[in-house]
Amino acid sequence: MAEASQLATSLRRGTLEFCVLAMVETEDRYGNELVRRLGEEPGVAVGEGTIYPLLSRLRRSGWLESKWVESPSGPPRRYYGLTPGGRSALDHFRTEWVQFRQTVDRLVGTGEAA
Amino acid sequence: MKTRENDVVAEYLREVDQRLAGLPVLQRRELLNDLAAHIAAEQAERNLASEGEIIEVLERLGSPEVVAAAAHEENGTRFTPPPPAANRNKLWLIVGIVAAVVLVLVTCGFLAFAGADSSIEGPAQPAVTAPETLSPS
């Protein structure tokens, strides 16, 4: 069990941030929305709260930008959007990921042919 | 009623904050603000009223340990819980040792002073009294 969650953690590291970038690719989303959507996916986030430090880092590295917007129902929401730098990082990841996935599939025998 | 739910949230945020030691202060504040905003938004949007429902929101966020660990991992820092307590203990140990040394020195000085005193007065008195007490026996 510990090993299974260790594997999930390792796989998540380095990929989750691009899932987040992709989620705000076409429209800005606020924290709760991002966190909720990720939480619905199996094996992505351990705790919803762990997404906020990730959003912070992506913002500090210039891939995301954020702004506080008044909400009609409740407190102000912090919306996140993709910066041009974030967009090119996402494009780069997509290229790399496809190659990487194909290689792993071939080596591990998880490809469609297998 | 309202205060009890706020207590649960405040306690949660305090426990996260305690584990953020070592993180730059602005990041620390940002995370606490984000978590507080998340909880407040959940409360407002889903009309959460009971303490149980708030606790459920906190459980989905993850334990303070898990959330703080994620913050440290993103920042490349490590949670160092013992330092404040250990430093305080060490400080008290040093204070204790210094106090003990001072006490010993003062005691020695006092004894030496008292000894010097008695060495001046000491011989004079026995010299006077000794013959008186000794002579009858």
CATH code: domain of residue A57? 1.10.10.10
Q: Is residue A6 part of a domain?
A: yes
Separation CA B137–CA B134 (nearest Å): 6
DSSP B50-110: SHHHHHHHHHHH--HHHHHHHHHHHHT-----HHHHHHHHHHHHHHHHHHHHHHHHHHHHH
Q: What is the pLDDT of residues B83-137, one digit of tens each?
A: 455 556 677 777 778 888 888 888 777 777 776 655 544 444 444 444 444 444 4
Q: Is residue A114 part of a domain?
A: no
Min Cα separation A8/chain B (Å): 15
Q: What is the pLDDT of residues B3-61, one digit of tens each?
A: 676 799 999 999 999 999 999 999 999 999 999 999 999 999 888 889 999 999 999 99
Indicate whether A1 pLDDT > 70.
Answer: no
- When pLDDT is cut at 50, 70 and 90, the band that residue B81 belongs to is low
Identify whether the C-beta of residue A30 lies closer than 8 Å to the C-beta of residue A75: no
How many domains are contained in chain A?
1
Q: What is the pLDDT of residues A34-67, one digit of tens each?
A: 998 988 888 776 789 999 999 999 999 999 999 9
The crossing angle, in degrees rounded to 10, of helices A51-60 and A16-23 is: 80
Residue A80's beta-bridge partner residues? A29, A66
Instruction: Tell whether B73 lies on the interface with A, counting CB pairs under 8 A.
Output: yes
Instruction: Tell whether B77 lies on the interface with A, counting CB pairs under 8 A.
Output: no
pTM over 0.95: no
Q: Is residue A100 part of a domain?
A: yes
Q: Considering CB atoms only, which of B44, B71, B75 is closest to A74?
A: B44
**Domain ranges, residue A57:** 2-108
* Amino acid B117: pLDDT: 56
Q: Is residue A35 part of a domain?
A: yes
Separation CA B50–CA B13 (nearest Å): 18
Q: Is residue A26 part of a domain?
A: yes
Q: Per the structure block, which two tokens stand in for A41?
A: 């996916």
Indicate whether A91 pLDDT > 80.
Answer: yes
Min Cα separation B83/chain A (Å): 23
- By percentage, how much of chain A surpasses pLDDT 70? 96
- A48 to B41: CB separation less than 8 angstroms, yes or no: no
B21 sits in the region (left: phi over 0; alpha: psi -120 to 50; else beta) called beta
Q: Is residue A9 part of a domain?
A: yes
Separation CA B59–CA B37 (nearest Å): 16
Q: What is the pLDDT of residues A17-33, one digit of tens each?
A: 999 999 999 999 999 99
Please tell me which residue, B108 or B64, carries the higher pLDDT value: B64
C-alpha closest to that of A38 among A6, A16, A69? A16
Identify whether the C-beta of residue A78 lies closer than 8 Å to the C-beta of residue A106: no
Min Cα separation A15/chain B (Å): 14
